C-alpha cells in the first residue's frame, strides 16, 4: 500500500527525484503489475495474494539486493511476516496459527519469493519443514514449547536431515541417538541446515537402531542453544545469501527424553512426509523467482531499443518470453494442483515432486533467459536478473534433487500402472 502512496506523491509533486543515468533510462521495475494473467482464485486467496504481493513489493524488493550483498538475515521483515500470519500459514487457529490451506501457502510463498527468494526460503523452512512435523506428531507439551513461540516471526526453526556423508541417501543417517536414563544423547553432524544460525530450535533425524536401517531413524526436537550442539561456519553460497546455512555438530548433546518426536523408528517416515509438503513450498519459491525473472525481462524488452525499435518486437526475444511464460504457468498449475490434492486429504507425493521439478527447472530457465534478454545489463548487480539466476540454482538441489524427484515420479507412475520396483 505504500507503493500507492509513493505513486501518488510522485504524481502530485513536480520535482523529479535525482537518480543515476542508468536508473533514469531503466527505472526500477518494482511496482509493475505481474504480467501473468490471474485465474479466478477464491476471494480469501485473492486477498491473501494481494497482501503478500503488496508486502513483497514494498518491504522486500527494495532491499533484496542489499540483503544479498550483505548476506544479512532479514530479521525485521521476518517479524513483519509473522505479524501478517505468514510464518504459520497452515497451522490451525486452535493452535494459534493462521488456519489457511496449502493452496494459500503456495500462493503466499510465491509472492514473497518474487520479492526476495531468501525470505521465501526462510518462510518455507519455518512453515513446511519445522512447524509441519511438530504439528502432526508433537505432544501437547512439545507443541507448547516448540510450536507456539515459532508462529509470530519472533523465532524460527530449522530441519536437520542431510549430513556431510548423505543427502539423497537419507536412510543412511550416521548421526546417532542413544538413551541414557532419561536423556537422549546425540552424536554426529548435520549439513546444509538452512536457518542454522538464527533458529531457536531444530527438528533432527538421528539413527536410534542401525540394524533397522530406515526404520531405525527417529526424529528429535532440539532447542538452540544446547550444550553439546555447536554450529559450523556459515556457508558462503552462490545464492539465497540472506539465509544462513551451516553444519549442526552434535557432541554428546543431551536432550530430555520427552523431546523424541513421534515414536522411535518413525523418523524416516516423518522426514519423507515433511519433505513431500516442503516440496510444494520450494516449488512455490521457484515460481516466485521465475515470475520475477520474467517480469524483469518483459519490462526491459519493452524499453530497450535496438535496430530502431524495442527489442520486444524481435522474434528471437518473443520466442524466449513465450517459453518462459508457458513453463511458468505450467509449473504453477502443477504446484496448485499438488497443494489442492493435499488440502483434499488425497495422496499428493507424485504431484508435489512434479511441481518441485517443474518449478525449479523453470526458475533456472527463466533466470537464464532473463539474463540473455537483458544482455550486459543482466550480468551486473544494477539489475536483479543476476540475483535471480543465482537464487534459482539451489531450487533444483535442496529438498530433494531433481534426480530424486524424477525417481519419485517414475516410481509412482509404475505403481499406478500396477508395478512396484
Q: What residues are annotated to the active site?
A: 399
How many CB atoms within 10 Å of residue 421?
6
Closest Cα partner for 158 from 128, 120, 113? 128
User: Is residue 32 a contact point for other proteins (CB under 8 A)?
Assistant: yes
Contact region for other proteins (CB under 8 A) — 16-24, 27-35, 359-367, 383-391? 27-35
Give CA–CA dist 29/50, Å, rounded.
18
Cβ atoms of residues 348 and 276 within 8 Å: yes
Q: Is 63 in the site for other proteins (CB under 8 A)?
A: no
Comparison of 98 and 175: residue with beta carbon closer to other proteins: 98
Write down the residue that cell numbers 512435523 correspond to: 133
Position 46 contacts other proteins (CB under 8 A): yes
CB of 34 to other proteins, least distance (A): 9
Query: In this structure, what C-alpha cell is assigned to residue 12?
Result: 502530485
Spatial separation of the C-alpha atoms in residues 346 and 335, rounded to whole Å? 15
What DSSP string runs through 138-170?
Answer: --HHHHHHHTGGGSSSS--EEEE--BTTBSS-G
Among 24, 44, 309, 381, binds other proteins (CB under 8 A): 44
Task: Report the C-alpha gap between 36 and 356 in whole angstroms.
Answer: 20
Which is nearer to other proteins, 218 or 291 (by Cβ)? Answer: 291
Number of shown-chain residues binding other proteins (CB under 8 A): 32
- The residue among 87 and 156 lying less far from other proteins, judged by its C-beta, is 87
Q: Is residue 7 within the footprint of other proteins (CB under 8 A)?
A: yes
How many other β-carbons are positioned within 10 Å of the β-carbon of residue 405?
Answer: 24
β-bridge partners, 179 = 184
Q: What angle, 0 to 180 degrees and rounded to 10, lies between the N-to-C axes of helices 117-124 and 61-70? A: 80
Nearest CB to other proteins, comparing residues 34 and 172: 34
Work out whether 15 is an interface residue with other proteins (CB under 8 A): no
Residue owning grid cell 536401517: 213
**Segment interacting with other proteins, rule: CB under 8 A, options 49-57, 179-187, 208-216, 242-250:** 49-57
- Which of 26, 35, 51, 167 touches other proteins by CB under 8 A? 51
Among 20, 37, 94, 315, binds other proteins (CB under 8 A): 37
CB of 12 to other proteins, least distance (A): 7
Binding flag, residue 55, other proteins (CB under 8 A): yes
- Interface with other proteins includes 3 (CB under 8 A)? yes
Residue 9 binding other proteins, by CB under 8 A: yes
- Distant-in-sequence, close-in-space partners of 199: CB < 8 Å, separation ≥ 6: 130, 155, 156, 157, 158, 224
Closest CA to 311 of 372, 270, 257: 372
Give, in degrees to the nearest 5, the angle at Cα 47 between 134 and 338: 50
What is the distance between the alpha carbons of residues 160 and 123, in angstroms, rounded to a whole number? 16
Site map (CB under 8 A) of other proteins, residues 68-87, x = contact:
---------------xxxx-
Q: Is residue 93 a contact residue for other proteins (CB under 8 A)?
A: yes
Touching other proteins, residues 180-209 (CB under 8 A): none
Query: At its nearest, how many Å lie between other proteins and the CB of residue 351?
Result: 25
**Using CB under 8 A as the criterion, which residues of the chain lie in contact with other proteins when the complex forms?**
1-5, 7-9, 12, 31-33, 37, 43-44, 46-48, 50-51, 54-55, 83-86, 89, 93, 98-100, 104
Amino acid at each position: 500500500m505504500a507503493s500507492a502512496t509513493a505513486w501518488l506523491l510522485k504524481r502530485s509533486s513536480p520535482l523529479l527525484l535525482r537518480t543515476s543515468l542508468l536508473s533514469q533510462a531503466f527505472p526500477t521495475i518494482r511496482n509493475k503489475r505481474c504480467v501473468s494473467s490471474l485465474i479466478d482464485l477464491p476471494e480469501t486467496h485473492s486477498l491473501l495474494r494481494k497482501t503478500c504481493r503488496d508486502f513483497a513489493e514494498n518491504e522486500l524488493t527494495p532491499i533484496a539486493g542489499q540483503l544479498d550483498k550483505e548476506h544479512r538475515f532479514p530479521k525485521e521483515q521476518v517479524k513483519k511476516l509473522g505479524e501478517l500470519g505468514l510464518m504459520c500459514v497452515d497451522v490451525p487457529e486452535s493452535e494459534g496459527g493462521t488456519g489457511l490451506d496449502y493452496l494459500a501457502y503456495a500462493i503466499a510463498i510465491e509472492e514473497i519469493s518474487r520479492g526476495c527468494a531468501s525470505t521465501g526460503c526462510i518462510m518455507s523452512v519455518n512453515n513446511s519443514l519445522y512447524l509441519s512435523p511438530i504439528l502432526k506428531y508433537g505432544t501437547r507439551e512439545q507443541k507448547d514449547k516448540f510450536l507456539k513461540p515459532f508462529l509470530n516471526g519472533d523465532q524460527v526453526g530449522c530441519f536437520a536431515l542431510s549430513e556431510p556423508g548423505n543427502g539423497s541417501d537419507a536412510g543412511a543417517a550416521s548421526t546417532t541417538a542413544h538413551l541414557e536414563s532419561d536423556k537422549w544423547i546425540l552424536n554426529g553432524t548435520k549439513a546444509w541446515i538452512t536457518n542454522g544460525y538464527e533458529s531457536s530450535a531444530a527438528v533432527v533425524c538421528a539413527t536410534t537402531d542401525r540394524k533397522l536401517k530406515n526404520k531405525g531413524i527417529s526424529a528429535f526436537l532440539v532447542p538452540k542453544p544446547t550444550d553439546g550442539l555447536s554450529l559450523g561456519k556459515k556457508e558462503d553460497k552462490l545464492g539465497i545469501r540472506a539465509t544462513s546455512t551451516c553444519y549442526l555438530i552434535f557432541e554428546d548433546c543431551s536432550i530430555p527424553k520427552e523431546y523424541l518426536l513421534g515414536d522411535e523408528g518413525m523418523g524416516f517416515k516423518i522426514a519423507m512426509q515433511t519433505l513431500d509438503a516442503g516440496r510444494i513450498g520450494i516449488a512455490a519459491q521457484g515460481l516466485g523467482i521465475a515470475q520475477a525473472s520474467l517480469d524483469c525481462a518483459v519490462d526491459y524488452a519493452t524499453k530497450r531499443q535496438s535496430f530502431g525499435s524495442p527489442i520486444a518486437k524481435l522474434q528471437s526475444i518473443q520466442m524466449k518470453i513465450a517459453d518462459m511464460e508457458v513453463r511458468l504457468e505450467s509449473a504453477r498449475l502443477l504446484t496448485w494442483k499438488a497443494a489442492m490434492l493435499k488440502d483434499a486429504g488425497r495422496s499428493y507425493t507424485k504431484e508435489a515432486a512434479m511441481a518441485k521439478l517443474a518449478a525449479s527447472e523453470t526458475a533456472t530457465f527463466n533466470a537464464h533467459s532473463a539474463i540473455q534478454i537483458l544482455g550486459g545489463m543482466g550480468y551486473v548487480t544494477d539489475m536483479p536478473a543476476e540475483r535471480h539466476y543465482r537464487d534459482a540454482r539451489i531450487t533444483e538441489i535442496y529438498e530433494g534433487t531433481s534426480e530424486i524427484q524424477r525417481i519419485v515420479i517414475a516410481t509412482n507412475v509404475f505403481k499406478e500402472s500396477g508395478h512396484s520396483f
